[in-house]
Structure 1
Amino acid sequence: MDILTIGSGSSGNSYKMSDGETAILLEAGIKFQKVQQALKFKTRQIKGVLVTHEHGDHAKYVVDYLLNGLNVYMTAGTKKSLNIEHHRLFTVEYKSAFKIGSLTILPFETQHDVAEPCGYLIKSDNGSKLLFATDTYYIKYKVPGITHMLLEVNHDYDYMMENVKNGHLHQGLANRIMKSHLNLENAIKYLQSSDLSQLKEIHLIHLSNSNSKANEFKEKIQAITGVPVKIAGR
């Protein structure tokens, strides 16, 4: 699978993935014009856009994507929260697989402070299998045979508490982050308990600017998994 980061983090998220036959976008938090530029204006190759939840950094530009001819997929709860109706907007359900070209996509429940958030397990007809999990403080599903991961590792608990202690971060915001985003410690626990026998690479996404250290995160995850680890957007 080929993965391209167009944007990652609280300022906006969008990722392109392709198995060589079918290309899709993950999230709609980046302006469509920037997506066009990143794809060298070949947006017709995109066969669908998967959205995880309604927060602006993931869904702000859904309408623009729809008006530019892209099919968009999200849960009913996310659709209701965004209050959008369009003939190219499709709803998905947890654990109910659907097809986009050569890709079989399985939405799954995530843990976030929104209506009906989800992650996506994406399997290609060529046997590749991608786990996309973001904006969740916990992943409760273990999936065998994953070959690629787009995995949020938002913060390190100790770094964040140090920022609270130094007055750089309000305790209330820290509490909210802990209950809505995956930290390094929980990401490591998830990886250690998962089947990594087929894993080829991990893309770490949605890192906090102030509560993470990208190089340290990369080194720790690489040491545990033994596969190349990339920091999204770097």
Structure 2
Amino acid sequence: MRLKVLGSGSSGNCYILENDKEALIIEAGLPFTGVKKALDFNVMKIKAVITTHFHIDHSLYSLQYVQAGIPVFEPCRPPIKYSEMRFRKGNFDIRAFENRDKSGRWLHNNGDGSECPCVGFYITHPEMGSLVYATDTEYVRWRFNGVNHIMVEANYDMQFVNREEPNYEHRLRGHMSLPTALDFISTNDNPALRNVVLIHLSDKSGNPALFKQKTEETVKYGADVYVAERGLEVDMDLCPF
């Protein structure tokens, strides 16, 4: 199993989990044509597409998959039905979890003061083991025992935020800071953790090299650390040899 990063950030998010026979698309924020190329046009191997929420950088191109007859899993679509938070296609087992704050509100900011439903995913596959995917949330309140791979948003660090920018605090709402991401990674660090991939870094308020360094200092069992960028590929096999 390999992870391919087609895009990560406000300009468009799209990731592929694939082996020789199956593929799962995480987020539909980039055109389907790019996914086809990344799969050498073997679109028959795509088992499903999953999206976290309905902002355009995550779901703009969902309809292209629907029109191609590919299942699209959108547990964030209101009204939320807890009976439909689990989805199985091929050997992929996907469970969605809600991103809410302590008061029970949806976390992600629409830019107009309102908030939209947003979920994270716990994904398992026999070749990969388990993966937690969390983005566009201020924190994750869940702990995942023995997780093998983590993909988590590390959007900004306050030392890089321009506090003179009007309404800068409003722009940060619904996104995870580096310290919060590190707390989440530390809480879920374990001997079976193989990979940590930092996703959705801000162009203005992030620093890839520093974020990677701080994460490497956080993991204690030797997990590999990556910063998601277009073209990155990561070995996600449960057993590396």
Q: Give the TM-score range, shorter chain.
A: 0.7 to 0.9
Q: Residues 7 and 93 from structure 1, CA distance in 2 versus in 1: closer, same or farther, beyond 3 angstroms?
A: farther
**What is the CA-CA distance between 1:101 and the residue it aligns to?**
1.2
2: CA distance, partners of 1:39 / 1:55: 25
Taking the aligned partners of 2:174 and 2:83, their CA distance within structure 1 comes to 19
Q: Once the two structures are superposed, what CA deviation does each residue of 1:106-158 show, in whole Å capped at 9, x if it has no partner?
A: 10011323432100000113461000101001100000111111111111122
| 1:223 correspondence with 2:217 | yes
Cα shift at 1:179: 2.0
- Identical columns (%): 31
Alignment-mate amino acid for residue 103 of structure 1 = F
Q: Distance in 2 between matches of 1:223 and 1:152?
A: 17
How far apart are the structure 2 equivalents of 1:92 and 1:203? 29
In the alignment, is the contact (CA less than 8 A) between 1:149 and 1:202 conserved in 2? yes
Q: C-alpha distance in 1, partners of 2:193/2:135?
A: 18
Find the counterpart in structure 2 of residue 108 from structure 1. 97
CA distance in 1, matches of 2:151, 2:187: 17
Cα gap change, 1:16 to 1:94, in 2 (>3 Å):
farther
Structure 1 residues 60-79: aligned runs within 5 Å: 60-75=60-75, 77=77
- TM-score, scaled relative to structure 2: 0.82
- SS of equivalent residue, structure 1 residue 136: coil
The match for 2:182 is 188
> Is contact 2:149–2:193 with CA below 8 Å preserved after alignment?
yes
Matched residue, 2:104: none
Which of structures 1 and 2 has the larger relative contact order (alpha carbons within 8 angstroms, sep 6+)? 2
Say which structure is richer in helix.
Answer: 1
Give yes or no for contact 1:77–1:115 (8 Å, CA) kept in 2. no
Distance 2:217 2:146 in 1: 19
C-alpha distance in 1, partners of 2:129/2:27?
20
Give, in whole Å, the separation in 2 of the partners of 1:176 and 1:183.
14
> In structure 1, what residue type is equivalent to 2:93?
T
- The Cα offsets for residues 31-61 of structure 1, whole Å up to 9 and x where unpaired, read as 1112212222122211000010000000111
**2:170 corresponds to:** 176
What is the match of residue 201 of structure 1? 195
Q: TM-score, normalised by structure 1?
A: 0.85
C-alpha separation in 2, matches of 1:206 and 1:138: 14
- Check the 8 A contact 2:132/2:149 in 1, yes or no: yes
**Equivalent of residue 232 in structure 1, options 224, 228, 233:** 228
Give the gaps of 5 or more residues in structure 2: 100-106, 110-114, 233-241
Deviates more, 1:39-48 or 1:68-77: 68-77
Measured against aligned partners, the alpha-carbon deviations of 1:200-222 in whole angstroms (never above 9, x if no partner) come to 01111111001000010001101
Q: Deviations over 1:83-119 (max 9, x none)?
A: xxxxxxxx86488433111121110011323432100
Aligned length: 216
What residue is the counterpart of 1:155 in the other structure?
A: 156
- 1:84 maps to none
Conservation of the 8 A alpha-carbon contact between 1:19 and 1:124: no
Q: Equivalences for 1:68-147 in 2 at 5 Å? A: 68-75=68-75, 77=77, 93=82, 96-110=85-99, 111-113=107-109, 114-126=115-127, 128-147=129-148
2:73/2:87 contact within 8 Å kept: no
Native 8 Å contact 1:13 1:30 kept in 2:
yes
Contact kept in structure 1, 2:21 and 2:45, CA below 8 Å: no
Q: Per the alignment, do residues 19 and 195 of structure 1 end up closer, same or farther by CA in structure 2, a change over 3 Å counting?
A: farther
